[in-house]
Amino acid sequence: MRQVRAAILAALFIPGALSGLLLPTMAEAQDVILRSRDGGIELSGTMLGFDGEFYRIDTRYGDLTVDSSGVVCEGVGCPSLTDFVAELRISGAATMGDLLMPALIESFAQRNEYSAERSTLAEGGTRITLGDGGRVIGRFDIAPSTTDEGFADLLADEADIVVALREVRPAELDLARQAGLGDLGQPNRSRVLALDALIPVVAPENPVTSVSMSDLAGVLSGRIDSWQDLGGPDAPIVLHLPPEGSGLVQALEDQLLQPPALSLRGTDTLRHASAAALASAVAGDPFGLGFVSAAEVGNARPVVLTGSCGFHLSGTRQAIKTEDYPLTMPVFVYMPARRLPKLAREFLEFTRSEPAQIVIRRAGFVDQTPEELALDEQGDRLANAISIAEGEAGLAELKRLVATLAPMRRLTTSFRFEPGSSGLDARSRSNVQQLARSLELGEFDGRTLVFIGFSDGEGPSEANLMISAERAGAVRDAVIAAAETADLAGITLETDAFGEAMPMACDETVWGREVNRRVEVWLR
């Protein structure tokens, strides 16, 4: 399987390699016969898996999932029904595997009164063995590596779920379909576990306190190599980054370099095996500039993002949670279209719970629990709105905005769109499911939810107002469609729009316009 995994990694980066790649079926599969208890139906095939409740077998009719309670299994490939041990293999981003996932699994065990014992896997990583009354009921193996390798493990059948710091790539989507894993791009195949952010950091004594996104792109691409160009001393910029192939580096490339426009400079870059080592190295390097996750800043000093229009954006917890900070980095969990063991499904459901959100916060990441914010708790948003208001029409719209929002509270759940598209991005598709689930649980019964659209400042104000209103309506409709079991009789769902009236960033850049095109949810 390691050879297959290596071939998958190669295929993802070699043009034309996908067409000739053959993907494996389940390892160590064996022939079995499933008979109905009355003897009237018989199925023969290859045992692909068992989750403690259902068999999955490859038959002449295709892959079938069969309830074990209704059949008798015969053959050497039949698993034990009484001594079943759930297996879950987790691969992907090292920052998750080293800290967050073990903490979540152990919290899940504690909540269910299971024992949890850690051990080290032979190939590296952690195994957490869960027990109940002295009997082993589950083994959760965590193999922290990189996001690239996590997806490769999934495609090679060496992982059940992937923890990723980026969205799945088109090539990986194609390979997943070929491997029978379903469409990983569908909403039910992924969701956001937590939020993190890309934070530019320098040494505490470095005089540079803010930098524009375009200048950061210049440093990463090699176009800018002196601190003097950023308002600092006449000294070379030493760039510190995580290893190549890490999800954090790929997120940097996606969000700042936007290939193929720019590419990451290939020389004079210091790579660090761990985030802690990177932060420590930058903190001790007066000419260093590095990028770390918000959870791992260490003793380095964060740099504020700015633009020529005067806006300032810091990577605070609130700005990350609302995604107002432009370098917000969702932590995705990707799952194939196959049935996981019941214990594994219960664990994944637990990760949505409030106790799990507490674990996520304690680990230094931003949790998914919706919070309500008053208008005066939102930093420079109103100042930004005042600074761009033009003429009587602009001031009138600003007054309408303040009068409308002042008595309400903003929910930290926001929605943004794919570049150049009216479709929601992956993070927002997950937010649709999260908000729909809250409606189904009755968390907003008796409240009014107002979906409010905002736009960038490109084009006529009237057109921007109309577009932002259409987007607000589209998000509201998507949430209603996803909340299939919700009783909406006791909830009021409205829409409103303010176009370009409250920008989050400067419109002069692509990323700035993307940040400004959003739908927020306000409550009263």
Q: Check residue 389 and give its pLDDT.
A: 63
> What is the tens place of the pLDDT at every residue in 468-484?
999 999 999 999 999 99
The confidence band for 430, taking pLDDT boundaries of 50, 70 and 90, is: confident
Q: Rounded to an integer, what distance in angstroms lies between the CA atom of residue 137 and that of residue 128?
A: 11
> What is the number of other CB atoms lying within 10 angstroms of the CB of residue 349?
11
Predicted pLDDT of residue 14: 52
**CB atoms closer than 10 angstroms to residue 354:** 8
Task: Please report the pLDDT score of residue 17 as a whole number.
Answer: 46
Alpha helices in 352-390 (DSSP H): 354-362, 381-388
- What DSSP designation does 98 have? I
Which pLDDT tens digit goes with each residue over 265-300?
A: 877 899 998 888 999 999 999 999 999 988 889 899
- Give the tokens for residue 304: 């504020």
Could you please report the per-residue DSSP string of 201-270? EE-TT-S--EEEHHHHHHHHHTS--BGGGGTS-SSB-EEEE--TT-HHHHHHIIIIITTTT-----SSEE
Domains of the chain by residue range: 1-184+336-365, 196-318, 370-523
| Average pLDDT for 180-208 | 90
Domain 1-184+336-365 in this protein, CATH class: alpha beta
Q: Residue 483: how many CB atoms within 10 A of its CB?
A: 21
Instruction: Name the least confident of 11-20, 87-96, 349-358.
Output: 11-20
Cβ pair 94, 143 in contact under 8 A? no
| Element holding 447 (H helix, E strand) | none
pLDDT of the residue at 27: 39
C-beta separation of 212 from 308 below 8 A = yes
The pLDDT, as a whole number, for residue 1 is 53
Contact 360, 194 (CB under 8 A): yes
**Between β-strands 42-50 and 30-36, what pairing exists: parallel, antiparallel or unpaired?**
antiparallel
DSSP string, 480-517: HHH-TT--GGG-EEEEEEEETSS-SS-TTSHHHHHHHS
Cis peptide before 260 (omega within 30 of 0): yes
User: Stretch 216-226: mean pLDDT, rounded?
Assistant: 92
**C-alpha pair distances (Å), 351 with each of 3, 109, 111:** 33, 12, 12
Q: Which residue has the tokens 């992956």?
A: 426
Domains 1-184+336-365 and 370-523 share a fold: no
**What's the pLDDT at 19?**
42
Residue 518, SS3 per DSSP = strand
CATH no. of 196-318: 3.40.190.10
What pLDDT is stored for residue 338 in this prediction? 79
How would residue 420 be classed by pLDDT, with cut points 50, 70 and 90?
low
**Mean pLDDT of the chain, nearest integer:** 85
Q: Which residue has the higher pLDDT, 405 or 201?
A: 201
Going by C-alpha positions, the residue among 175, 184, 186, 196 that lies closest to residue 334 is 184
Give percent helix, percent strand, percent coil of the chain, each to the nearest 5: 35, 30, 35
Q: Is the pTM of this model over 0.85?
A: no
Give the rounded percent of residues in the chain with a pLDDT score beyond 90. Answer: 42
What is residue 325's three-state secondary structure?
A: coil
Higher-confidence position of 499 and 2: 499
Is residue 306 predicted with pLDDT exceeding 90? no
Number of Cβ atoms within 10 Å of the Cβ of 72: 13
Spatial CB neighbours of 469, under 8 Å, sequence gap ≥ 6: 453, 495, 496, 497
| Residue 367 to residue 357: CA distance in whole angstroms | 5
CATH class of 370-523: alpha beta
CB 237 within 8 A of CB 287: yes
- Computed from CA positions of residues 21, 22, 25, 27, in that sequence, does the dihedral angle turn out positive or negative? negative
Grouping H, G, I as helix, E, B as strand and the rest as coil, residue 140 is strand
Span 378-414, pLDDT tens digits:
656 666 666 666 666 667 777 888 888 889 999 999 9
